Structure 1
């Protein structure tokens, strides 16, 4: 795709080329003023050798100039020119007159050249005026180049221009049809597209175009994609720039970039400006010491420009961020970013739509979209695109020319847990422990109500470090979870360790991830979900960077924090005891299912449930 840079301007002169011309002129003047006297190669010698050659009668010609003696010697048919310094020798002329020479008349031809001195005016021109004029021309051209870069918002200390990319309206091929799983966001942005197409419809009633819309959501949910789709639907130029590109080394350079961006956007209106990762320049301003002056000046300039341009011209600003809580309040107020559009992770129907969009790009046959969509709960659109691509690569490796459901299911596991490590050597004893560990998870999950059905159990190691895993897939989309469902999930997490203790009589490191997840879930129930009898509905923890992992911090005293630890421990102990009771009541099923898993290495949820039904436990 052709890309145009906003701040790319033709420069009138190149200082480097000017410098080369200066060098050439100086060399020419040097050759003109100090030419080679004879055009021949001259050898240096001493005055004594000059006298010896004269006495030998081999000197043909002598020339004296500026304190130097140049003499030509004929020796066995070769003619060589020598140079020596002039010595105070009063008898030199008499010696030359008496000396013999290989010339026809037998006399040495000699002369003295008196150098002509330049006039004082010419010396002044050559020594002062000409160099000053040359340096003035170089400085003028260099100043124009620097001003052009600074005026365009570029950094004159760097090579090349780093402004926004302009995509012409014909170059944007993305439309709303390419964006799936974000129907609410598309509905809100379609109004902006319609305003750009039919502004009279809105201006007649007195409405004005929203100046800005902030796209907020986790990474991979399609914020950049939907911004391009707005430009593609509206058929207007699209300015794309990252917030980090405004951050410069020198104070004022980022603000210059902002001014130039809005100037060019006003010239090309109607158009769309898209600032990705706007939190790089839009962070909350710090009133204390140690602030970033360059970033704050850039933010101030952005606020001023957003207030200054006329929304009726059709300039729309779209921005994207994963950290809306860090943005400055002045940036979020109405009149700047009038709309906040949530780009959440897709639900079940959204995942199906996204999978269908990406499956159109690959050959596939008899694909069960429902199974794949249910197995990918919590994934973003970018992750679903990666899953489809991994499935296509697997189909090629397996020698097929079309993607199947099996390829998609395996690619889901590859993205989540890593590729299979079939060559990893695991001892028979360890393999047995792993098998009982995974069957422990599956059995506890199956024996509880309000628990997701078991979809697959495997003891094949993965590159993520997992020696095996049990996959549970919800039968439908679940929005809310009650206290019993969360507690049962903790019970399921403790089932693997419990199976090791009850059957293998060992405690291994294989439950490390289970312990981490169970503790995190139990703590959330106590501190954030209000599911503790002791603390009722008291909030004891806050979440930061919700869309980037969700870091948490306690908002309570040290004494309360210690009491929270006891509450979490008690909840996990209760879950552990419940899983121990379930496994003790079903030891015969445990042994049968573990033996089957050791033989097959991977079994489906249907095969596992068949064993439970045969035993009469369900």
Structure 2
């Protein structure tokens, strides 16, 4: 029975009860009532022979007249009416007076409305308490037990994180055969902490561990422990482990454990708040006096830096398993997993798609496959082809096209020269990633963009690559100045300037690429979450050092500006040719740009409007997008350059 049918049945029962109550209360008033007369009237009727029969019950007489009318009267205590009735030849019936006063039926009728209200109140209270496990069920655990009878997930459904799976396979073997480790004196780790960026498959990996081991799987979020009442979270932790003991061996999975596992003593309210009480109870349950054999705790977070050190010590979360974004091989495996349920055309190559999606997480790749399937459905296709995957990849990376946006010819020309400035500088700096695509079709918040894809997975950037990036970022601003004059430069380079300043500041304050400042870290600690700590960190830098940092940052950005001006001045013909090509074709792939600069026009079908798929994308790790924004600058697409270690 569904919840809607159950609710309808409850309301129907309540309606029937109310109708029955109404009828019962109305019943006595609708019956033929006796006419109440006084004693004198009664005696006059008896003497005149108008009474045919009477019933005497105590001091009450009810009877019927010769005309068929009924009456009722009360006789005095000392009256003797029997003789008068007999002399008038009246039929007399005597009954015993009732001893209990009101009959049980009368009591029920009188109390039925109150009993009905009490019953309805109890029913609704139980309904309200059902989701929260009762009015006194605040301390009950909200963990959900998944037995994986349907939708079972195994390691075959998890791809791209082979090292993480190897770390967890030992836990699976222990759950299947604990004696294998116990006879040698080995103890299985009590907890495994999955660390990685959002969307990399931490939750899916935990479910796969439970699916492989075939044991009960309790899942709960870190925020489910925290309530407004102090002590509720600790009670829920205790109840959760009590349930786990009854189902051992089992797995408890806590998602987003940083919600309850943050370092103690850092709060503004002291050490007696609800979250710290919950964390203390969790620490005791994991490794206290009472051992919890057969219970393995798996947690996931993307903020390991804020966790309390007591959580990470041996005996609690013994293992920290990294679940990073996949490399090109992992991306290919993930794509094949998500493509199982999608009908594919013969031209679909997961390896090519994997090369063109650097930096994508497992969730991003799942979204890409879904977008391609939706696009194929909109195009009324029966299978998903490579064209849909390419168009969906561009949509995910650069935003949806806005072909209906009205742009004047002046704006189109300015955008074309701006984007071609980025592209020409990128093709002529000492170290840069290949240009994958250039377009002046508005996408998302940008009027146009140039996209670069690295040739291989990269974990760091050299100083030459960084200075080249600065020149590429400033290429659009220089192009506007050379083409339209300094007085006609627009605000379209706002995002470029912001990214260039951020990169230059990181080079000076974090990576030691300034001889004047030296290899000293002056970057603010992003892990400090309180304003006072941030101000304290900032106050460590003197005014003189801060001024030097600003000078060095400005010098690096201006150096990129000068390099971009030199390249566009020397390669002016290529710059103009590419700008005219963008105005004609709107979108050019990297190969088409190279051919255009050689004097060869791209081969396009004149009956088909320009498309944005280009050719096969080169391999890469972190795509770089230079855009000309039509609104306030934003870091929205999430594919900004990220120099430095992984």
**Alignment TM class, shorter chain as reference:** 0.7 to 0.9
2:526 to 524, 531, 544: 544
Q: CA deviation at 1:363?
A: 1.7
Give the match's secondary structure for 1:589.
helix
Measure the CA separation in 2 of the matches of 1:403 and 1:173: 27
Equivalence for 1:592: 577
Residue pair 2:192, 2:297 contacting (<8 A) in 1 also? yes
Gaps of 5+ in 1: 1-15, 87-92, 98-104, 120-125
1:6 corresponds in structure 2 to none
Q: Provide Cα deviations, 1:185-224, integer angstroms capped at 9, x if missing partner.
A: 1111111112222323322322100000001111101000
**Whole-angstrom CA distance in 1 between matches of 2:257 and 2:412:** 50
Unaligned runs of 5+ in 2: 1-9, 75-80, 601-646
Residues 66 and 114 of structure 1 are in contact (CA less than 8 Å); yes or no, is this contact kept in structure 2?
yes
Structure 1 residues 61 and 395: alpha-carbon distance in aligned structure 2, compared to 1, 3 A threshold: same
2:507: which partner in 1?
Answer: 525
1:489 to partner: Cα distance: 1.0
Alignment-derived partner of residue 509 in structure 1 = 491
Residue in structure 1 matched with residue 336 of structure 2 by the alignment:
356
- Residue in 1 aligned with 2:224? 245
Residues 602 and 205 of structure 1: CA distance in aligned 2, closer, same or farther (over 3 Å): same
- Relative distance call for 1:498 and 1:370 in structure 2 (3 A) is farther
Pairing 1:337–2:334 present: no
1:195-594 to 2 correspondences below 5 Å = 195-286=174-265, 289-291=269-271, 293-308=273-288, 313-364=293-344, 365-462=346-443, 464-505=444-485, 506-544=488-526, 555=538, 556-559=540-543, 560-594=545-579
Equivalent residues of 1:155, 1:253 under 8 A apart? no
Counterparts of 2:317 and 2:35 in 1: how far apart (Å)? 83
Q: Note the alpha carbon deviations across 1:150-170, whole angstroms, 9 max, x for none.
A: 9x9957368997621111254
- Per-residue deviation, residues 100-131 of structure 1 (Å, max 9, x unmatched): xxxxx9x9x9x9x9997879xxxxxx9xxx9x
CA distance, structure 1, for counterparts of residue 160 and residue 500 of structure 2? 31
Distance 1:485 1:376 in 2: 21
> d(CA) in 2 for partners of 1:319 and 1:224?
9
Tell me the distance in 1 between the aligned counterparts of 2:185 and 2:567.
68
Alpha-carbon offset, residue 292 of structure 1:
5.8
TM-score (norm 1): 0.76
Shift of 1:64: 14
- Larger mean CA deviation between 556-565 and 154-163 belongs to 154-163
Which of 1 and 2 has higher RCO (CA within 8 Å, sep 6+)? 2
Per-residue deviation, 1:384: 1.0
In the superposition, relative to structure 1, how do residues 46 and 383 fare at CA in structure 2: closer, same or farther (>3 Å)?
Answer: farther
Deviation at 1:435, TM superposition (A): 0.7
User: Is this contact kept in 1: 2:142–2:220, CA < 8 A?
Assistant: yes
Q: Check the 8 A contact 2:412/2:583 in 1, yes or no.
A: yes
CA contact (8 A) 1:374 1:473 kept: no
**C-alpha distance in 2 between matches for 1:242 and 1:187:** 25
Q: Which moved more, 1:243-252 or 1:379-388?
A: 243-252
Name which of 166, 178, 199 aligns with 1:187: 166
Distance 2:62 2:406 in 1: 91
In the alignment, is the contact (CA less than 8 A) between 2:138 and 2:232 conserved in 1?
no
**CA pair 310-427 structure 1, distance change in 2 beyond 3 A:** same
**TM superposition score normalised by structure 2:** 0.73
Whole-angstrom distance in 2 between the partners of 1:162 and 1:198: 29
Matched residues in 1 for 2:327 and 2:34: separation?
92
Q: Distance in 2 between matches of 1:203 and 1:331?
A: 25
Contact 1:170/1:235 (<8 A) preserved: no
In the alignment, which residue of structure 1 is the partner of 2:598?
613
Q: For each residue in 1:237-295, what CA deviation from the matched residue of structure 2 results, as whole angstroms up to 9, or x when unmatched?
A: 11111111111232222222111211121221111110111111111112663456222
* Cα-Cα RMSD: 4.7
User: Shift in Å at residue 39 of structure 1?
Assistant: 7.5
Following the alignment from structure 1 to structure 2, what is the Cα–Cα distance between the partners of residues 240 and 67?
Answer: 75
